[in-house]
């Protein structure tokens, strides 16, 4: 693995999931990394320093001064500056709500937070806490701030928590963290100058819309929202401030640092995008918005009577065209086109008609692309006529490709 020979400082904080840090240390050492563990005082209530010292083959550090023979004043200084400079990467896993708050606000009266403030290397935070703590506005703001500083957040996972609740907040599995570190060192993942997008305001739409016929029926499409959610997560990883307007999906809530507005109909999506559009620097319209909606939705459930039933439809507001007309200098817009025939020609027409800067073309004739899949195959056409073709890959990797395209444009 690409972590071989890398110096990794692992911060372990006060969370029940600290027991997973033992497996993470073992995996890192087995892969050939040098591992130095720094624990907070609270972490030692969940796992002993002796366990992690044995696995890492290094003494575990937790205080500024290591005592000798139990006598204060006769110990050695654990130099937080040298530790911060020693590491190729710092991984804080688990990162408790308390530690996130300390690092986000610059408090450093323990060794781990002092090392963080002294570090010049990339830093990864892997949050772990109960679901309500994870989605609390304070935690979301702290995560947003840490991302805006250029740090990387390893999103907590969904599942059963120590409280017995089901939701997001579980520490990412050690194998997942290993894969992210391997990708980081092997491909430069996350090394796309996050300062370029740090603090940029990004508006993203995702998912389908549902147009009501009566209180129990609606018109919709097969969009799952997976692509839009992946794009939102990719932007937030490079420090952007993300507003996500999402139609109905079965997906778990996105990264808590994302401001998510849930809507149902095309009109609700239009109103929600209008509310934040003027403040957005980058707009990515990946939602599959209905083109038509019932003109007169019924107040009561429509009973089955006639053998033929007609439904009068009226056009919805064209969100992309409306925002394209309102676009100001300094704003960048990316739209999506899912086509079944004459794909390229139809996508170019949409790009020009709606005053977009990029159009992302999907073809339902490409196996593994389009709605419902975990993969996608795209062609991106920009307003200057340049075409960027990408192979079939995961939607997470597609999202990173799109972010990189935007970064390269802002750099030029």
User: Annotated binding residues, as ranges?
Assistant: 291, 301, 336, 350, 354
What's phi and psi for 314, nearest 5 deg?
A: -130, 150
- Token pair for residue 218? 């609606």
Q: 109, 191, 221, 233: which one is catalytic?
A: 221
Encoded tokens for 177: 């963290």
Contact in structure between 69 and 103 (CB atoms under 8 Å): no
Distance of alpha carbon 185 from alpha carbon 182, whole angstroms: 5
Q: Using CA atoms, how far apart are residues 11 and 55, in angstroms rounded to an integer?
A: 15
Closest to 255 measured CA to CA, from 146, 393, 370, 410:
146
CA within 13 Å, CB half, 105: 12
Joined tokens for residue 380: 């991106």
Tell which residue, 143, 76, 145, has the closest CA to residue 111.
Answer: 76
Q: Which residue has the tokens 């892969």?
A: 31
Determine how β-strand 211-214 pairs with β-strand 217-219: antiparallel
Contact 29, 55 (CB under 8 A): yes
Q: Calculate helix-pair angle for 226-237, 395-411, nearest 10 degrees.
A: 50
Q: How far apart are CA 374 and CA 330, in angstroms?
A: 33
Residue positions in the annotated binding site for CTP? Answer: 291, 301, 336, 350, 354
Secondary structure element (H or E) that encloses residue 127, with its range: strand 123-127
Q: How many CA atoms lie within 13 A of 129 on its CB side?
A: 20
Provide the residue count of the chain.
412
Q: CB within 8 A of 17, min separation 6: which ones?
A: 94, 128, 162, 170, 171
- The yes-or-no answer on residue 79 being catalytic is no
Alpha-carbon distance values, 216 to 223, 225, 251, 264, 305 (Å): 20, 22, 22, 13, 17
| DSSP secondary structure letters along 202-218 | EEEEESB--EEEETTEE
d(CA 38, CA 53): 10
CA dihedral 101, 102, 107, 112 (to 10 degrees): -170
Which residues belong to the active site?
221
């Amino acid at each position: 693995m690409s972590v071989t020979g890398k110096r990794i400082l692992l911060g372990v904080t006060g969370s029940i999931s600290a027991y997973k840090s033992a497996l993470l240390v073992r995996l890192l050492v087995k892969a050939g990394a040098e591992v130095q563990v720094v624990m907070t005082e609270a972490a030692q209530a969940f796992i002993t320093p002796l366990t992690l010292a044995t696995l890492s083959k290094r003494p575990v550090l937790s205080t500024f001064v290591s005592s000798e023979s139990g006598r204060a004043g006769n110990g050695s200084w654990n130099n937080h500056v040298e530790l911060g400079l020693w590491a190729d990467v710092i991984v804080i896993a688990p990162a408790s709500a308390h530690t996130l708050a300390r690092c986000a606000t610059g408090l450093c009266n323990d060794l781990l937070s002092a090392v963080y403030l002294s570090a010049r290397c990339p830093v990864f935070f892997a949050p772990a806490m109960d679901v309500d703590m994870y989605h609390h506005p304070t935690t979301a703001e702290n995560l947003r701030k840490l991302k805006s500083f250029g740090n990387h957040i390893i999103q907590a996972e969904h599942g059963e928590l120590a409280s017995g609740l089901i939701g997001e907040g579980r520490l990412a599995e050690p194998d997942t963290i290993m894969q992210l570190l391997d990708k980081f060192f092997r491909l430069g993942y996350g090394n796309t100058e996050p300062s370029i997008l740090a603090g940029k305001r990004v508006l993203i739409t995702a998912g389908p819309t549902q147009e009501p016929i009566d209180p129990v029926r609606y018109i919709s499409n097969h969009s799952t929202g997976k692509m839009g959610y992946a794009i939102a997560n990719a932007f937030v990883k490079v420090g952007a401030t993300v507003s996500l307007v999402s139609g109905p999906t079965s997906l778990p809530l996105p990264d808590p640092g994302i401001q998510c507005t849930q809507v149902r109909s095309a009109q609700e999506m239009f109103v929600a995008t209008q509310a934040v559009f003027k403040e957005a620097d980058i707009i990515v319209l990946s939602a599959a918005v209905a083109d038509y909606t019932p003109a007169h939705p019924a107040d009561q459930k429509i009973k089955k009577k006639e053998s033929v039933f007609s439904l009068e439809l009226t056009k919805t507001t064209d969100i992309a065209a409306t925002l394209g007309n309102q676009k100001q200098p300094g704003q960048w817009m990316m739209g999506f086109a899912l086509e079944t025939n004459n794909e390229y020609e139809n996508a170019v027409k949409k790009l020009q008609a709606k005053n977009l800067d990029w159009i992302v073309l999907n073809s339902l004739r490409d196996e593994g692309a389009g709605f419902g899949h975990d993969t996608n195959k795209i062609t991106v056409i920009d307003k200057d006529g340049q075409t960027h073709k990408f192979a079939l890959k995961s939607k997470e990797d597609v999202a990173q490709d799109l972010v990189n395209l935007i970064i390269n444009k802002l750099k030029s």
